[in-house]
Amino acid sequence: MRGRRRFRTAAAATMAALLCAGALAGCTAVEPAAKVPPTRPVPKAEPLWDVSPASVAAVGDSVTRAFDACSVLADCPEVSWATGTDAAVNSLALRLLGPAKVATHSWNLARTGARMAELPEQMAGAAAEKPELVTVMMGANDACRPTPGLMTPVADFRASFETALARLRAGAPKAQVYVSSVPDLRHLWSTGRVSPVGVQVWKLGICGSMLADAEDLGPAAERRRAEVRDRVVAYNRVLEEVCAGDARCRYDGGAVFDFRFDGGQLSPWDWFHPSKDGQARLAELAYRRITKE
């Protein structure tokens, strides 16, 4: 009996040793599972472009003031494409804000006759209102000079536009900017020159670089008009390039330059500025671009 007990004791000891050896040779201890920290929701990035801004400031020239749209030689801002209150035009501000807020949440700071050199001052005024959107339509008067030689140099045009955006950013860093292209002045000439009234009014000195001697189709006159058109194209290239460098700026892609105004969309008093219907078309083009997702 004692021998059997000694045998069982030795066998148990041997088995324990073998199991221990096996554990050391091929077994690894199971580590407890690491605790995974709870995930936190990632905050959504603020969109750089809001398709429904709640306030609008407009800067620019006679087009934004709706010059000659209601009566001869007079501004008519109530039909402005940008901030007008006339329901027939259905301005950009009316479309974005609704009629109840246009008077309190939109500002028309444009000036008839203004050129790009004035835009920094207008932009500073717009920034003071802290608008969510600023519309820019400027440049036609830089090309519409008495002669092509007096047109604003492209480098000066660029410098003024860059300064204007910097002024806006200094006072309203998050304001969105919609930049309209300069209209195709040569198309306006080709449309209006068929009107005897328009031709007579143009002789008073409207946009002489393009509209002077409107009935002259000779080579010199055609070269002059081509030079003005080329300058407008260069201005639009500047607007596009400078705007592209600002994350909160949208250029219209040449929509206004490409728009073919017809006789009914031009002022019956000067056959050059947009009529009420022309203002409505500008509002539609702007709204389409601004609200594009």
pLDDT of the residue at 38: 57
Instruction: Assess whether pLDDT exceeds 70 at residue 202.
Output: yes
pLDDT of the residue at 48: 85
Distance, in Å, from the CA atom of 38 to the CA atom of 36, rounded to the nearest integer, reads 6
In this prediction, residues 192-201 reach a mean pLDDT of 91
Distance, in Å, from the CA atom of 182 to the CA atom of 259, rounded to the nearest integer, reads 11
In this prediction, residues 128-150 reach a mean pLDDT of 98
pLDDT of the residue at 34: 54
Distance, in Å, from the CA atom of 186 to the CA atom of 101, rounded to the nearest integer, reads 37
How is residue 169 written in tokens? Answer: 């950013």
Instruction: Assess whether pLDDT exceeds 60 at residue 11.
Output: no
For the chain, how long is the longest CA-to-CA vector?
A: 139
- Say if residues 106 and 56 touch (Cβ distance below 8 Å): yes
Q: Which of 16-20, 93-97, 121-125, 272-276 has the lowest average pLDDT?
A: 16-20
Angle between helices 219-244 and 154-171 (to 10 degrees): 30
Distance, in Å, from the CA atom of 55 to the CA atom of 105, rounded to the nearest integer, reads 5
pLDDT of the residue at 182: 98
27 band by pLDDT with thresholds 50, 70 and 90: very low
pLDDT of the residue at 13: 43
Instruction: Assess whether pLDDT exceeds 50 at residue 12.
Output: no
State the distance between the two ends of the chain, measured CA to CA, in whole angstroms. Answer: 94
Instruction: Assess whether pLDDT exceeds 70 at residue 276.
Output: yes
pLDDT of the residue at 39: 58
Instruction: Assess whether pLDDT exceeds 80 at residue 147.
Output: yes
CATH architecture designation of domain 56-290: 3-Layer(aba) Sandwich (3.40)
CA-wise closest residue to 189 among 237, 241, 153, 224: 224
CA-wise closest residue to 225 among 267, 189, 255: 189
pLDDT of the residue at 3: 43
| DSSP state for residue 37 in the 8-state scheme | P
| DSSP state for residue 274 in the 8-state scheme | B
Distance, in Å, from the CA atom of 263 to the CA atom of 49, rounded to the nearest integer, reads 35
In this prediction, residues 61-77 reach a mean pLDDT of 97
